[in-house]
Amino acid sequence: MNEFELFPEAASSFAGEVDLLYWFLTIVSVIFTVGIALALLYLGIRYRRKSEDEPAPEEIHGSNLLEIVWSVVPLILAFVMFFWGAHLFFKMRIVPADAMEILVTGKQWMWKIQHPNGKREINNLHVPLGQPVKCTMTSEDVIHSFYVPEFRVKQDVLPGRYTQLWFTPTKIGTYHLFCAEFCGTEHSRMGGKVYVMTPSDYESWLEGGADASLSPVEAGELLFTSLGCATCHHDGKNSQGPNLAGVFGTMQPLDSGGEILADENYIKDSMMNPQGQIVRGYPKVMPSFKGMVTDAQITQIIAYLKSIAGTEEADSTTDEETPESPESALLNDALEPDTTGQRYVRMEQ
């Protein structure tokens, strides 16, 4: 017979802290619930009216000390819960700079995962022990929820947007991966495994049997060129859009006023709805790529823009220096109703 476990195994740097906070909340709740119930039972029996002839009990006008205690003690406990929970929340939301990024796409009814070197897997996730891992996630259809009980992490995965979670595995082993949001008839089958390996074993797994696909950055650079993005997004005098090198993660001024953070959601929205929020100083000439690129391709383009976030020049040149590729020419003919032949990529939160 399998041993009954009240909690899943604690296998991440968050697990112990989450469990400790949970037990604190549970113990405080039990103490107050049982204490109040027993007090009600005792007082109900002790001061019940025993007969019709019994005189009414003497009225009690209260105790200032008692009222202060039952007001201040719960207030202190509530503040402890709030600040403890807030501290843990922010700790789980702020991703370390050295975290390894893994791309995750939810789809009825599977998890599609891609590693930094381009290797892909479905419903399985291999990660190295002791390495912070950031999962950048989106959905191709409905709302899913990426949940690893042993790591004490769970995050909704939304169509049309990007969400993130991170964790640091602390124990070698195999753990459960679930979708924790009802997503259709086969929801209960949308699960998999997380394999925590030593760093050397992970590198061997990553290299052994790796597919020939490009890494997300390489694939994104190829798309950036083939879609004609480099035609407009450069630092030349004829630029129709901002140079995208160094843009990701920065605040961009908008033509309508104000600023917006150039993050994953901003980039995707800019490609799908390019006229929504225009960067100040550039014309409204960019076509929509809705229906032309998949969510996976958008994720690859974002990975490329992240890779050039610290550079001064995008991988592009001026119009005079860059001949138009056959793919760009075809896209221009199909998508560009105007006479400029230019395209523009701008970004949204």
Model pLDDT for residues 16-39, shown as the tens digit of each residue? 999 999 999 999 999 999 999 999
Domains and CATH numbers, the chain: 7-42+95-211 (2.60.40.420), 216-335 (1.10.760.10)
Number of residues written out for the chain: 349
pLDDT surpasses 90 at 166? yes
Instruction: Report yes or no: 24 and 31 within 8 Å, Cβ to Cβ.
Output: no
Please give the biggest Cα pair distance in the chain. Answer: 107
Amino acid 270: pLDDT? 83
CA distances from 138 to 5, 141, 182 (A): 32, 9, 16
C-alpha to C-alpha distance for 206 and 172, rounded to whole angstroms: 17
CA distances from 3 to 6, 7, 8, 37, 194 (A): 10, 12, 12, 33, 22
Q: Which among 49-53, 62-66, 70-74 has the top mean pLDDT? A: 70-74
Amino acid 210: pLDDT? 47
Higher pLDDT, 104 or 316: 104
* H or E, element range at 26: helix 15-46
Amino acid 340: pLDDT? 34
Structure tokens at 49: 């009216």
The answer to pTM > 0.75 is: no
As beta bridge partners, residue 106 has: 111, 139
C-alpha to C-alpha distance for 196 and 87, rounded to whole angstroms: 27
Amino acid 209: pLDDT? 54
Structure tokens at 164: 């993130």
SS3 of 255-283: the string is CCCCEEECCHHHHHHHHHCCCCCCECCCC
Higher pLDDT, 54 or 96: 96
Model pLDDT for residues 235-284, shown as the tens digit of each residue? 766 677 788 888 888 888 888 888 888 888 888 888 888 888 888 888 87
Residue from 345, 302, 348, 308 nearest 114 by CA: 302
Count the neighbouring beta carbons within 10 Å of the beta carbon of residue 77.
Answer: 15
Count the neighbouring beta carbons within 10 Å of the beta carbon of residue 194.
Answer: 21
Model pLDDT for residues 294-334, shown as the tens digit of each residue? 777 888 888 888 888 765 444 443 333 434 443 333 334 33
Model pLDDT for residues 170-227, shown as the tens digit of each residue? 999 999 999 999 998 889 889 889 999 999 999 888 876 545 467 888 888 888 877 7
CA distances from 2 to 5, 122, 150, 173, 190 (A): 9, 29, 18, 18, 24
pLDDT surpasses 50 at 82? yes
User: SS3 for 197?
Assistant: strand
Model pLDDT for residues 117-160, shown as the tens digit of each residue? 888 888 889 999 999 999 999 998 899 999 999 999 999 999 98
Amino acid 13: pLDDT? 92
